[in-house]
Amino acid sequence: MITNADRDDGLGDEFLAALGGAEHKEYEVDSYEQLGEVTRTAVGDGAEVVAVVGGDGSQRQVGIALARSTARPAPALCVVPGGSVNLLGQVLGIDDASTAADAATSGKRRPFDVARCNDEEFLLNATMGFDAEVIAKTPRDRKERLGRFAFVVEAAKRIRTPPARVTLTADGETMFTGRATSVLVLNVGQRGTADFDIAPDAAFDDGVLDVAVMRCRGAFALARTMTQLARNRSPSQNDLMRLRGSDLDVDWSRQTALQLDGDGAGEATSFRISVSRRALHVCVPSAGAHSS
């Protein structure tokens, strides 16, 4: 088990208690940047499962290190959800330390795709534009105090951000050219919560990425689109366009914010995105996961 001392809040102890007498080793890091190195240490120590206490960003760092591992079979990632959103845990059906322990000891092992945007991998999603700017600019202390509502507060401050011109190519074919506020590239169809499906047909093990081009502009159009998605209705293509592909090129007319799995990842004008099918394995409870 890997614990980030800055993000634990007692979840690590709960997870260990739920493990009972299962054999385990404990690793602790003091900073986010140490997660990859400690994961490699755990792999070298012969771990079959690497459990990490933390949010989606921490799960991403550990998952990437496991996907890069040359160990065969590579250890599986077990999520112990401890962040402000915990989307990966929700998608996998893990919502607390007890369920995580069940997944680690008696659950299933599921293959999981790993995607790359420019020089960085991600597990859940890469988003560009308004969505990414909101994520990147929301202060951590506000997220800790308000949870998901912190993003709503930041979005309200930035709702007037104008759209930019975007060209999107999927598997060598130009699929969209026009103005957009956000482009969401999804390895899992959900965004923010497992009940909010932006790409209902997405699967995390099919080697294909789902893309949502958000074209809606202004508070009213955005609220209308979000309401339709929340009700499992398809918004107009004037507001949201969906497409799929394994190799994507997204070119913006101006410097645009990027976020990966809930963490801001700088700005760029061009984004090259690909996917490695089933590069990682994850632990899920015997009841299964939300995506297949």
SS3 state at 191: strand
Distance CA 126, CA 110 (A): 22
Distance CA 164, CA 186 (A): 20
- In the chain, the domains with their CATH numbers are 2-106 (3.40.50.10330), 120-275 (2.60.200.40)
pLDDT for residue 171 = 97
The residues, any chain, with a CB within 8 Å of residue 166's CB and separated by 6 or more, are 176, 177, 178, 179, 180, 183, 213, 250, 251, 252, 253
Q: At what angle do helices 35-44 and 56-68 cross, to 10 degrees?
A: 50
Sign of CA dihedral 282, 288, 291, 292: positive
Contact between 92 and 281 under an 8 Å Cβ cutoff? The reply is no
Distance CA 94, CA 103 (A): 8
Taking the model in full, what pTM does it have? Answer: 0.88
pLDDT for residue 31 = 86
26-47 confidence digits (pLDDT tens): 999 988 889 999 999 999 999 9
156-167 confidence digits (pLDDT tens): 555 667 789 999
211-255 confidence digits (pLDDT tens): 999 887 665 566 677 676 666 777 777 788 999 999 999 999 999
What is the token pair recorded at 158? Answer: 């930035």
Query: Whose structure tokens read 């112990």?
Result: 80
